[in-house]
Structure 1
Amino acid sequence: MRIARFSTEEGMSFGVVEENTVAAVAAHPFGDLTFTGVRYPLADVRLLAPILPSKIIAIGKNYAEHAREMGGEPPAEPVIFSKPSTAVIGPGEAIAYPEKLSQRVDYEGELAVVIGRMCREVPAARVPEVILGYTCANDVTARDLQQKDGQWTRAKGFDTFCPLGPWIETEVDPADLAITTTVNGEVRQDARTSQLLHDVPALVEYVSQVMTLLPGDVILTGTPAGVGPLEIGDEVTVRVEGVGELTNRVVARE
């Protein structure tokens, strides 16, 4: 099932995407879904970020080759950091390049996990019980600021630096999915989630030992090798097999 968040002239709703239509649901997508009976052609709605999380927890250096391209060795434990909820944008929205502050902004295509219920200290074997589904993500990063600051909050935290979408896929197995990132149609990243150093169950177990996870919280699972710069005017697309594709254009920050 593909759960989307979308807007029409009537306002914002959650819905289930079925072929070329969206069936609206009442309230939020957590728990049993109640359909309103209203259905829209997919082409007539605007897809938004599928969720607005209370927090975004991201994992650094979770593919061995990416760790090496960044000048280090793969870490023994997950490296966690956070991005603010204000960084979230949806499919088709613009990534704002902050030229006054950064001269190197990179794409980082990732599989994102969306938490389905409040949980804490979840053992790996029970992780599927707390996951709503999966979506595509782009952990946009001001690389020069990351290197300058020595920590990642500013570099990862700009408004628009966390595109999510196009929807939440609830029925995919995340163990071995193809993930690619293209810039202006050229493939820049090409990997599989089976190459993750720490898989989804391990990540949710690890993060939930530190903090309580709430419905809608997002965990970014890490980016594969091939990260690189974006320029104003570029179009970047993250594709995850069985989930969908997320496209955003880069514009100058006003």
Structure 2
Amino acid sequence: MIQLEPISGVFNRERALQATYPMRMLIVREGSGFLCMNSGDHELLEKRIFFIPEEGLVRLDGRIKSGYWLNFSSMLYAEFLLQHLDPLAKNLFLNLSYRDLTPQESIKTYSLLDQLKKEIDAKKDLRFLAQYLSLFLGFTAGLDGYLAALTLDELQQVLRFRAILDQYYREERAVQFYAEGMGMSVGKLNKFLDRVLGKSLTVLIKDRIMREAEELLLHSDFSVDQISRILGFEQTNKFLTSFRRHKGISVLQFSRLV
């Protein structure tokens, strides 16, 4: 579903880069030359990150001293689109596009890629990797503006928390579980989340559950009883009450609105 490998060396346009999955990114830390596509040649400038469309061979002509070649499945990209409704997100891989990172963004990007590589090599759960990748894309594309203001350590902590939350929110409601996963006390984690995200752990868990509830109500054929069970509610009435409190309207009213 996802491959991430360091890339370096001298390349000529006679040989295309290989990718197992259709969504492709080239992250150049140090390099010179060109990325060659059917649409034309594009400079391999330092600290440049390319978002490469599904169609077309990727050829390099030049030298990369340090970089990363990332490719991943459409399914993982779909998770990113669920969280980023901005039209820029949908168009990110339609045509070849790139973004030049600031020195600070570049440092953060490579640190996140190093950590993502460790998570992939450790064979982390696919939902964990999907959430990590989604936030990484949001950061590198400049869509998650609040992430840019965080320190590298804070950024890594936010990505790890979101990945853990997305992996376990259906089964785990206990704040202690997430605190242990983050290696923090409940108090320290709550203080951190309130500072960087403006919400408590309990609220973030409920928000994630209700976001999934909305998605299932909108885009699945499951009954309300089935959705209730999927989301870990012992009784449908508890789900209905929680939904009303969260949205301010009933499940029935929400379904009629859409």
Query: What is the TM-score normalised by the length of structure 2?
Result: 0.21
Task: Specify the structure having the higher radius of gyration (Cα).
Answer: 2
Query: What is the TM-score normalised by the length of structure 1?
Result: 0.21
Q: Which protein has greater RCO, CA pairs closer than 8 Å, 6+ apart? A: 1
Q: Which protein is richer in strand relative to its size?
A: 1
Q: Which protein is richer in helix relative to its size?
A: 2
